[in-house]
Amino acid sequence: MFEQLGLIGCGLIGGSFALALKRARLVKRVVGYSKSPSTTDRARQLGVIDVAAPSALLAVSGADLVLVAVPVGASEQTFKAIRHGITEQMLVMDVGSTKGDVIEAARRGLQDQFSSFVPAHPIAGKEVSGVEHAEATLFEGRQVVLTPVKATLRSNVQRANQLWSGIGAKVVTMTPEAHDSAFAAVSHLPHLLAFAFTNAIASDPQGQRFLELAGPGFRDFTRIAASDPAMWRDVLLANREQVLSHSRAFREALAQIEAMMAAGNAQALEDSIASASRARSQWRPGAGAATD
């Protein structure tokens, strides 16, 4: 059990983490800080945190566990803000959807205390954000990817593994590079496509009429287009090289199908659809590598 969680960012993921730890009795006290005082106050009212701290540094003071749950673009600034409150005995983690950039931000921000940091990415969430939507069960049965580097304390990696497992998550360990490439393909690119497709429909002169006729297919394909804009701006920019690489591969695959349609090649088109159908039918969440 941890004595105190210093929670930086009292939103959906950070709030759910705090509630999950409380439910599992893995922490005695939660001190939280958010950039918006109203968010921190709301988190306290909902019982997500026990004490609202006036600064990120004061939130980690006296903690033995720290979770940085802020947009990836704010990582370095946050790590710098808490650096002088971090000790070798603390376990420090993040929840960012990209890892290479966050690790470098932590290296610059935490400096001598970088070894206490275990990069983490819980594959859980909703298309809605905010502490009001936090759930103690959010991570149950979901994968959490840890991406430790050479400087990371092995003892902290073990503690992180045990902690996430203790709230029902399935822990996977990957290199930061493998993580960012994989999630560019299975998470970041799908979000990019959903954003672009929804914008294209909305900007069409008949867009409103199209939306009135939309059914389950549109709902399923565009669900993630309702995700938090600031968070996904940061993710797409942070992992842009990997996302753009997978985007080019997608455009090539799309061009091939378009060519089949233009040529009226029914058999080739059916074969391509059948191949995609088989691949999707065989997929199971959590089978093998981490998935979103």
Residue 51 has pLDDT above 70, yes or no: yes
Q: Which pLDDT score is estimated for 228?
A: 87
Mean pLDDT of 219-238: 92
pLDDT of residue 169 exceeding 80: yes
In sequence order, which ranges of the chain are alpha helices (DSSP H)?
Answer: 12-23, 37-45, 56-60, 75-82, 100-110, 154-166, 176-183, 189-203, 207-213, 216-222, 229-238, 240-262, 266-282
Local structure of residue 169 (DSSP, 8 states): P
**pLDDT at 55 > cutoff 70:** yes
> What pLDDT, on the 0 to 100 scale, is given for residue 242?
95
Beta bridge partners of 91: 65
Q: Flag whether pLDDT at 290 surpasses 80.
A: no
Q: In this model, does residue 208 exceed pLDDT 50?
A: yes
- Identify the H or E element spanning 3: strand 2-8
What average pLDDT does range 53-68 have in this prediction? 96
Whether pTM exceeds 0.95: no
Tell me the fold of 178-282: 6-phosphogluconate dehydrogenase C-terminal fold (1.10.3660)
How does pLDDT run across 107-160, given as a tens digit for each residue? Answer: 999 999 999 999 999 998 777 788 999 999 999 999 999 999 999 999 999 999
The mean predicted confidence, pLDDT, of the chain is: 94
| Residue 292 pLDDT level (bands cut at 50, 70, 90) | very low
Q: Which fold has domain 2-174?
A: Rossmann fold (3.40.50)
Those residues with Cβ within 8 angstroms of residue 140's Cβ, 6 or more apart along the chain or in another chain: 167, 168, 169
Q: What does the pLDDT look like over 252-273, one tens digit per residue?
A: 999 999 999 999 999 999 999 9
Q: Map out the domains of the chain as residue ranges.
A: 2-174, 178-282
Q: How high is the pLDDT of residue 286? A: 61
Kindly give, in sequence order, each residue whose CB lies less than 8 Å from that of residue 9, ignoring residues fewer than 6 positions away: 33, 34, 67, 68, 69, 70, 78
Residue 47 in 3-state DSSP? coil
Task: Say what percent of the chain tops pLDDT 70.
Answer: 98
